Amino acid sequence: MEKVLVTGGAGFIGSNLVEALLQKSAEVRVLDDFSTGYKENILTDPKVFLMRGDVRDQSLLESAVQGTDTIFHLAASVGNRRSLENPVSDAEINILGTLRLLQAARQAHVRKIVFSSSAAIFGELRLFPIQEDHPIAPDSFYGSSKFVAERDCLIFGALHGISVTCLRYFNVYGPNQRYDAYGNVIPIFCNRILRGRKLTIYGDGEQTRDFISVHDVVRANLLAVESEISEALNVGSGEEITINKLAQMVQEAADVNIGVEYAPPRLGDVRHSRAGISRARDVLGFNPSVSLREGLHEYVKWLRADPITRASLGGD
């Protein structure tokens, strides 16, 4: 794993992965269009070569993959709500962008691809917990496009002798994750706390989610790249928590009591979610190590110190 391409490497998960790769002395190439990523997320390091561009640009992809042995494909249009508002853009980036990258990888004789998929492919919970063979019934264009891209990766790998591991992330949180109205509930809650506003819960708050620290997600990626396993694996904590309980824990982590208000349920939101991670444990040796309480304290501390977040709040 000497020369590595990370698409979406300036984003939340991608930048944490880049940092971990540098610690392993990898030479890292980052491709990002900065639609949601930040240059501030990328460490100034001579082993990081930054390329600005779009995964829909075939010639740029061909240039980006040259000389690389491994690709971590994280670039995507992310989020159920965003996809409902922009379904065509979602498909162009997540499906066509992935196919173009796969074509470029084949031409460059890439050995390994780790594709970042999503638990959004499953839709509403039918079996508990959600194992890899759970029925696929996405409730959003995002979930649908991620599943199509995932299948395309596995088919392409089987046809052309490329080892491909797809990691289905559940709700990831942690450092370098900034506020996005379309994004994870944790940064949305924390942003409201920093602004002194009550937390908004959609529905009754008894819906559940499986939250996993970005540090554990990065570890799953590093384990996957060393494996020859070509399949899709769940990456979550294996535990669920209600949004009501999460609201309480976030306030405790921030040492505030800001209060909660309720709003009608949102279109496309599933009721319950919890990852079954036995397969990832068996084939990768993956075990989550960061508790939600520990991870929330780390995240709140990072967010309060983040200059971009401080500037958005009117701080120095």
Which of 180, 97, 203, 90 lies closest to 140 in space, CA to CA? Answer: 90
142 a catalytic residue: yes
CA 167: distance to chain centroid?
Answer: 9
Calculate the alpha carbon distances from 82 to 87, 158, 267, 273 in Å. Answer: 8, 32, 12, 20
171-173 vs 211-213, strand pairing mode: parallel
Hey, what are 315's tokens? 């701080």
Catalytic residue among 142, 169, 173, 179: 142
Residue showing tokens 């610690």: 23
Q: State the first-to-last Cα distance of the chain, in angstroms, to the nearest integer.
A: 40
For residue 129, cis peptide bond before it (omega within 30 degrees of 0): yes
Specify which residues 46 forms β-bridges with: none
Query: Alpha-carbon dihedral of residues 47, 53, 57, 62, nearest 10 degrees?
Result: -10
Q: What are φ and ψ of residue 314, in 5° steps?
A: 90, 15
Whole-angstrom distance, CA of residue 264 vs CA of residue 24: 47
**Distance, CA of 245 to CA of 208 (rounded, Å):** 9
Cα(212)–Cα(209) distance, rounded to whole angstroms? Answer: 10
Closest CA to 183 of 169, 197, 196: 169
Strand pairing class (48-52; 171-173): unpaired
Which residues are catalytically annotated? 142
